[in-house]
Amino acid sequence: MFKNDLITIAREAGRLIMEVKRAQSFSILNKEDNTPVTQADFAAHEFITDALRRLDTKYPIISEESCAISWTQRKNWHRYWLVDPLDGTKEFINSNSEFTVNIALIEHGEPIIGVVYAPAKDDMYYGERDCGAELNGEAISVAKEEPDTLRVVGSRSHPSEETIAWLEQQGKPYELVPMGSSLKICLVAQGKADVYPRLGPTSEWDTGAAHAVLNAAGGIVTEVDGSPLKYNQKESFLNPYFIARSAG
């Protein structure tokens, strides 16, 4: 539906991010929640939001860098763009390549289209409901067979006590696959990991695009109780704890 447009927008936003990175002279600010932000975040945000407004749609936009939109205003939105212009700012600052550009289209609380672009890797993930998922133009899907050892995506820091407890409840040996940003969910989508338990805080823009890719690849994202992870259903943008996995 918007595939070529969104891929072009994400790639250009990634180019702007890499220009800032190569300059190696960017300033780092702290937002109110004490998370870092750089001019690369703002440059990508401005470009993406301007480009989305030029599409032949009238959908509103929520971006991490412009999310001061009241619940009263957005609670009746049926379709909207959800953007994280630079997910993995800490990875970006630390010269790690695991940062991404994320654009999702949300419909009635469900991510139906998503593009995740990792500019330092030049990896482009795309997923669309009923159309499948791809990486750099090649079809991808979740792992089909039940593994003997769970490949578990996690952050590069030590997993939380809640995550360890959840893994022990699965009754299987497991190995940790470290990864940053929304690429964690994308690893499950391409069958390189089996599950990503996120028992810690995230925001809706952190997950929307990769969630769409995983859904299109045959996977699911649920709350810990098994109910589907939904978007724009409450005043806060914080996600509940969730599990991203293959549907099997």
Q: Does residue 26 belong to any structural domain of this protein?
A: yes
Would you state the pLDDT for residue 114? 98
Pick from 114, 140, 166: which residue ends a domain? 140
Would you state the pLDDT for residue 94? 84
202 burial type by CB count under 10 A (0-12 exposed, 13-18 middle, 19+ buried): middle
Q: Does residue 60 belong to any structural domain of this protein?
A: yes
Q: Does residue 145 belong to any structural domain of this protein?
A: no
Concatenating the DSSP letter of every residue in 106-171 gives EETTEEEEEEEEETTTTEEEEEETTTEEEETTEEE----SPPSSEEEEE-SSPPPHHHHHHHHHTT
Pick from 82, 106, 140: which residue ends a domain? 140
Residues 121 and 9 in one domain: yes
Residues 23 and 120 in one domain: yes
Residues 157 and 129 in one domain: no
Residues 19 and 101 in one domain: yes
Residues 39 and 111 in one domain: yes
Would you state the pLDDT for residue 27? 74
Nearest C-alpha neighbor of 217 from the set 139, 153, 113, 154: 139
Assign residue 87 the CATH number of its domain: 3.30.540.10
Q: Which residues have a Cβ under 8 Å from the Cβ of 118 and sit 6 or more positions away?
A: 14, 97, 98, 99, 100, 124, 181, 183
Residues 32 and 104 in one domain: yes
Nearest C-alpha neighbor of 49 from the set 91, 125, 101, 92: 101
Tell me the HSE value of 42 on the side-chain side, using a 13 A CA sphere.
9
Q: Which residues have a Cβ under 8 Å from the Cβ of 195 and sit 6 or more positions away?
A: 150, 151, 152, 153, 188, 243, 244, 245, 246
Would you state the pLDDT for residue 90? 82
Q: Does residue 29 belong to any structural domain of this protein?
A: yes
Would you state the pLDDT for residue 32? 66
Backbone angles phi, psi at 235, to 5 degrees: -70, -40
Assign residue 156 the CATH number of its domain: 3.40.190.80
Pick from 140, 159, 181: which residue ends a domain? 140
Residues 136 and 154 in one domain: no
Would you state the pLDDT for residue 156? 63
Locate tokens 């959908």: which residue?
59
Q: Does residue 219 belong to any structural domain of this protein?
A: yes
Q: Which pLDDT tens digits describe the chain residue by residue (248 residues)?
A: 799 999 999 999 999 999 998 887 677 776 666 677 788 999 999 999 999 999 988 899 999 988 889 999 999 999 999 999 999 888 888 878 999 999 999 999 999 999 999 999 999 999 999 999 999 999 999 998 888 899 999 876 556 788 888 989 988 999 988 898 999 999 999 999 999 999 989 999 999 999 999 999 999 999 999 999 999 999 999 999 999 999 76
Structural domain boundaries, residue 178: 150-246
Q: How many domains does the chain have?
A: 2
Tens of pLDDT, residue by residue over 74-119, are 999 999 999 999 998 888 888 789 999 999 999 999 999 999 999 9
Residues 183 and 229 in one domain: yes
